[in-house]
Amino acid sequence: MLTKSSTELIRQHNRALVLEALRRRIGQSHTDLARETGLASATVTAITQELETENIIERTVAAAAGGRGRPRILFKQRRSAAYAAFVRISSDVLQYSMVDYSGTLIHRIEEKRDNAGQKVEAFAADIRSALARLAEKSRVARNDLKAISISSKGLVADDNTTLLWSSVLGSQQIDMRKTLAPDWQAKVTLNHESLLVASALHSSMSRKLGKPIPRLAALSLGHSIGLGVVHADGYESPKARAPGFGHMIHSHGGALCRCGSRGCIEAYAGSYAILRAAFKVPPSTLPANFVPFIEIEKVAVQARQGDSTAKSAFREAGTAIGNGLARLISLHGKMPVVFTGPGVRFLDLMRPGIDDGLSASLGVRIEGPPEMSASLDEEGLVFEGHLNHTMTAIDRDVIAPKIIGQGGAA
pLDDT in tens, 165-218: 988 888 899 999 999 999 999 999 999 999 999 999 999 999 898 888 999 999
Under a CB-based contact definition with an 8 Å cutoff, are residues 191 and 149 in contact? yes
One fold for 81-195+380-406 and 204-377: yes
Cβ distance 173 to 162 under 8 Å? yes
50 exposure class (CB count in 10 Å sphere: 0-12, 13-18, 19+): middle
Model confidence at 137: pLDDT above 50: yes
Mean pLDDT of all residues belonging to the chain: 91
Task: Determine the residue type at 245.
Answer: F
Cα 191 to Cα 185: distance, rounded to the nearest angstrom: 19
Q: Where are the domains of the chain?
A: 4-77, 81-195+380-406, 204-377
- Which pairs count as long-range contacts for 371-374, CB under 8 Å and 24+ apart, including other chains? 371/336, 371/337, 372/336, 372/337, 372/338, 372/339, 373/336, 373/337, 373/338, 373/339, 374/338, 374/339, 374/340, 374/344, 374/347
**Average pLDDT rounded to a whole number, residues 359-368:** 89
Helix, strand, coil percentages, rounded to 5, for the chain: 45, 20, 30
Q: How far from each other are the two terminal CA atoms of the chain, in whole angstroms? A: 26
Q: Is the predicted pLDDT of residue 407 greater than 60, yes or no?
A: no
pLDDT at 66: 60
Report yes or no on whether pTM surpasses 0.85: yes
- Predicted pLDDT at 64: 66
Q: For domain 81-195+380-406, which architecture applies?
A: 2-Layer Sandwich (3.30)
Looking at 1.10.1270.20, 3.10.180.10, 1.10.150.530, 1.10.10.10, the CATH number of the domain 4-77 comes to: 1.10.10.10
The CATH H-level superfamily of 204-377 is ATPase, nucleotide binding domain (3.30.420.40)
